[in-house]
Chains A and B, each alone.
Chain A
């Protein structure tokens, strides 16, 4: 309510279809931050920003007069101060963002019922916003099938659909789906399902299958599990899908029709792919616009195009990386030991480490207009964080905004429902519903 219409952001999966991606060099404004109340006991070191955003020196800076860019947020208390910006702020500066922690930020709203329960699979919730049609669509894998629900934004009226995993040629054994995700490209939106047998691509409402790619079983050593997993739209007209042997298949998607082809196969990972993410904001020079993650915890950063180029590799440290996001050149990765780590995409350097969850992280999501990060894990918790970059020190900052305990549920899917992160949806293992939460 009162927030401006969503602006298209390169690669943002929640961008309204039909809009062109903006030319590089323009830092997109964010909506007005809500004022954060002054209070005692300010956390040490968190400070507001003054000065240009990183990389802005290399590009012309344009601002909306009324709405400062995400890099330049100041609380009302700071506006009067003269710059005292050096070093990690122990002088008690206000927060860069607007995350009041003295009161709860989100509250539970009406759930969406599912026709069947959600499976314990990584990143098991996808959300597609269709603001022009006052609709939001949700999908969660059940096992051999996936639930697809369309919900009217006025809260009345749901329509349900269940799609089945396609059998292989012999059709003797049932197949299990591993993931379902909408891929938003400038020209069209496809719903992609990955399974033990291959990759199914549908029109966004799940009505027609436009493409089927069978996995080559011979590529996998005998006795090893065979499946596809990890789905992302990238580079304007590609959809990338991972496999259990560590390959990433790059599909070239025409603006319409079924003539989808395999453009390239990326062979840098040695373990099963877990997640793939495209840049959701504005990549600084040399930062790449795609990141792939695997079971061993290794990450690869790529630059997309007719030929994908590997830019950097972030080595594993002994834990699976189950979920990954990329925003403004920062990789956010969720791990099996409950940690969230933030890396510089261009260099692979570790910039922040959060002991976020007590158990395996299953899902991460990012709201590109504000840099809010959502994490969901087996420990029943969902947390909302805020990413920002300190323009003086160039440090990547992350602060905790909100924690939600989903009682007796192992969370397996968590997604923001809008690009500012004012609402999010969650599902868990054995749960027949999608819980929703909105800003208070």
Chain B
């Protein structure tokens, strides 16, 4: 519905992805001097985070993203994150990638649902960007890119009305409808029920600009207040203390969108959700949508056109596992319910001439002036990577 939803969806999901990857990389990292050639070090972790963030905040990509457009399909978006996660030396198996995507989407769904005001989705986005800036605080070049995106967000969204933000929120909620994957950290914190549905509190501060429910005021025909009455409900609300900041820097007040993972709070998922609902939703996604695929191909090309580090030597050493053991990962891949599989679209290297011409024209207009490695094997690696998705 709203044509301004995609940047918020992309940036927030991207932020959650970075939180999870950062936590898993820290959990699996080994001190530099003790590490073998195939083990993660802190240096590797920083490099992966830098590479992914650089790719995510690429200037041309952001320009495309911010153009008014409809949301991509779930499959198309999933494929973009697949590419993003592989923008560095890190590799993820299908099962780990599935789990990563489940966690990202359920986390952002929770944040959208619990936002006090629709406009607060912007604060959630700022929370993600603030933390991303912490990840790359040592790299001024990338920091600049992120700040640029920050400014673009402020420019695009500060003038939107509450009604337009609610439309954005409704568009996001339609995107997340029927997703009830249980996330261990949410279950433990009692923000999600065992049936996968989120707990909606009926206490706490009311949104900024809303009054605590209870008062009825009656006015006469002169406009004077002539009567006040009160009513009570089961809710237990209080007035909020202050509003979060919508500036480049500031106290956001809202905690939604901040990093809830740490090494002591590991990342786990239960594969579940009543299959009936998900089956009906999965059915809708299997209808091929040529327009979305075209857009997605275009995006993937943009991402694919950037410098990608290819792993040298043995591949397995640079693989990140979202599960605690390899066996667990294998088991998850085998037992993933059919209706929850994302059916990632394969990006075809060869396309129909007509479409290819159109995309080449667009790509030509947005030629990225980044140096490409001279090695002739590079192009083949890229295509192989794209085909392998």
A356-387: CB near B (< 8 Å → 1, else 0) gives: 11111000000000000000000111010000
Q: Which residues of B contact A176 (CB under 8 A)?
A: 1, 174
> When chains A and B are docked, how far (Å) is the Cα of A43 from the Cα of B227?
11
Q: Which residues of B contact A116 (CB under 8 A)?
A: 178, 277, 280
Sample of 19 further A-B pairs with CB below 8 A, known A354-B215, A355-B216 = A88-B226, A117-B277, A120-B173, A121-B170, A174-B289, A223-B3, A225-B2, A338-B210, A338-B211, A352-B219, A356-B213, A358-B235, A359-B206, A360-B118, A381-B233, A393-B226, A395-B220, A408-B200, A430-B178
Question: In residues 222-239 of chain B, which contact A (Cβ within 8 Å)?
Answer: 223, 226-229, 231, 233-235, 237
Q: Which residue of B lies closest to A400 (CB)?
A: B231
Cβ of B197 < 8 Å from any Cβ of A?
Answer: yes
Q: Evaluate contact between B174 and A432: CB separation under 8 angstroms.
A: no
> When chains A and B are docked, how far (Å) is the Cα of A142 from the Cα of B178?
10
Q: Which residues of B contact A120 (CB under 8 A)?
A: 169-170, 173-174
Interface size on A, residues (CB 8 A): 72
Cβ of B214 < 8 Å from any Cβ of A?
Answer: yes
Cβ of A224 < 8 Å from any Cβ of B?
Answer: yes
Q: Which residue of B lies closest to A101 (CB)?
A: B231
Q: Evaluate contact between A336 and B200: CB separation under 8 angstroms.
A: no
Q: Which residues of A contact B161 (CB under 8 A)?
A: 271, 295-296, 320
> When chains A and B are docked, how far (Å) is the Cα of A148 from the Cα of B285?
22
Q: Which residues of A contact B206 (CB under 8 A)?
A: 338, 358-359
Cβ of B68 < 8 Å from any Cβ of A?
Answer: yes
Question: In residues 265-309 of chain B, which contact A (Cβ within 8 Å)?
Answer: 277, 280, 284, 287, 289-292
Q: Which residues of A contact B202 (CB under 8 A)?
A: 358, 379-381, 405
Q: Evaluate contact between B280 and A115: CB separation under 8 angstroms.
A: yes
Q: Which residues of B contact A119 (CB under 8 A)?
A: 170, 173-174, 177
Chain B residues within CB distance 8 Å of chain A: 1-4, 67-68, 70, 113, 116, 118, 161-164, 166-167, 169-170, 173-174, 177-178, 180, 193, 197-200, 202, 206-207, 209-221, 223, 226-229, 231, 233-235, 237, 277, 280, 284, 287, 289-292
Cβ of A350 < 8 Å from any Cβ of B?
Answer: yes
Chain A residues within CB distance 8 Å of chain B: 43-46, 88, 101, 115-117, 119-121, 142-144, 172-174, 176, 178, 196, 222-225, 227, 271-272, 274, 295-296, 318-320, 336-339, 344, 349-360, 379-381, 383, 393-400, 403, 405, 407-410, 429-430, 432
Q: Which residues of A contact B116 (CB under 8 A)?
A: 359
> When chains A and B are docked, how far (Å) is the Cα of A353 from the Cα of B193?
36
> When chains A and B are docked, how far (Å) is the Cα of A297 from the Cα of B151?
29
Q: Evaluate contact between A355 and B211: CB separation under 8 angstroms.
A: yes
Chain A min CB distance to B100 (Å): 23
Q: Which residue of A lies closest to B227 (CB)?
A: A45
> When chains A and B are docked, how far (Å) is the Cα of A429 from the Cα of B172?
12
Q: Evaluate contact between A338 and B213: CB separation under 8 angstroms.
A: yes
Chain A min CB distance to B318 (Å): 39
Q: Which residues of A contact B233 (CB under 8 A)?
A: 381, 383, 403, 405
With beta carbons under 8 angstroms apart, the residue of A224, A225, A319, A355 that contacts B212 is: A355
Q: Which residue of A lies closest to B274 (CB)?
A: A432
Q: Which residues of B contact A222 (CB under 8 A)?
A: 68
With beta carbons under 8 angstroms apart, the residue of B3, B199, B220 that contacts A224 is: B3
A172 with B290, Cβ < 8 A, contacts A271-B161, A319-B162, A395-B220 known: yes
Q: Evaluate contact between A225 and B219: CB separation under 8 angstroms.
A: no
Q: Which residues of B contact A117 (CB under 8 A)?
A: 177-178, 277
List 13 contacting pairs A-B, 8 Å CB cutoff, sorted by A: A45-B218, A119-B170, A119-B173, A143-B174, A295-B161, A319-B209, A355-B211, A355-B214, A381-B213, A395-B219, A405-B235, A429-B177, A430-B197
Q: Evaluate contact between A351 and B218: CB separation under 8 angstroms.
A: yes
Q: Evaluate contact between A396 and B213: CB separation under 8 angstroms.
A: no
> When chains A and B are docked, how far (Å) is the Cα of A348 from the Cα of B162?
23
Q: Which residues of A contact B164 (CB under 8 A)?
A: 295
Q: Evaluate contact between A178 and B1: CB separation under 8 angstroms.
A: yes
Q: Which residues of A contact B287 (CB under 8 A)?
A: 174
> When chains A and B are docked, how far (Å) is the Cα of A144 from the Cα of B161?
26
> When chains A and B are docked, how far (Å) is the Cα of A351 from the Cα of B199?
36
> When chains A and B are docked, how far (Å) is the Cα of A186 from the Cα of B67?
47
Q: Which residues of A contact B229 (CB under 8 A)?
A: 43-46, 399
A225 with B167, Cβ < 8 A, contacts A320-B162, A358-B213, A380-B200 known: yes
> 5 shortest A-B CB distances, which residue pairs?
A295-B163, A223-B68, A400-B231, A320-B163, A355-B211
Q: Which residues of B contact A296 (CB under 8 A)?
A: 161, 163
Q: Which residue of B lies closest to A274 (CB)?
A: B163
Q: Which residues of B contact A173 (CB under 8 A)?
A: 70, 289, 291-292
Q: Which residue of A lies closest to B206 (CB)?
A: A358
Chain B min CB distance to A137 (Å): 21
> When chains A and B are docked, how far (Å) is the Cα of A359 from the Cα of B217?
19
> When chains A and B are docked, how far (Å) is the Cα of A336 from the Cα of B180?
27
Q: Which residues of B contact A271 (CB under 8 A)?
A: 161, 163
> When chains A and B are docked, how far (Å) is the Cα of A144 from the Cα of B289?
14
> When chains A and B are docked, how far (Å) is the Cα of A115 from the Cα of B211?
37
Chain B min CB distance to A272 (Å): 7
> When chains A and B are docked, how far (Å) is the Cα of A117 from the Cα of B200?
18
Q: Evaluate contact between B2 and A405: CB separation under 8 angstroms.
A: no
Q: Which residue of B lies closest to A350 (CB)?
A: B219
Q: Which residue of B lies closest to A116 (CB)?
A: B280
Q: Evaluate contact between B174 and A393: CB separation under 8 angstroms.
A: no
Q: Evaluate contact between B178 and A397: CB separation under 8 angstroms.
A: no
Chain A min CB distance to B286 (Å): 13
> When chains A and B are docked, how far (Å) is the Cα of A33 from the Cα of B215?
26
Q: Evaluate contact between B218 and A430: CB separation under 8 angstroms.
A: no
> When chains A and B are docked, how far (Å) is the Cα of A180 from the Cα of B197?
26
With beta carbons under 8 angstroms apart, the residue of B198, B200, B216 that contacts A400 is: B216
Q: Evaluate contact between B210 and A144: CB separation under 8 angstroms.
A: no
Chain A min CB distance to B144 (Å): 27
A430 with B177, Cβ < 8 A, contacts A225-B2, A394-B221 known: yes
Q: Which residues of A contact B193 (CB under 8 A)?
A: 408
> When chains A and B are docked, how far (Å) is the Cα of A116 from the Cα of B214?
35
Q: Which residues of B contact A432 (CB under 8 A)?
A: 277
> When chains A and B are docked, how far (Å) is the Cα of A196 from the Cα of B70?
11
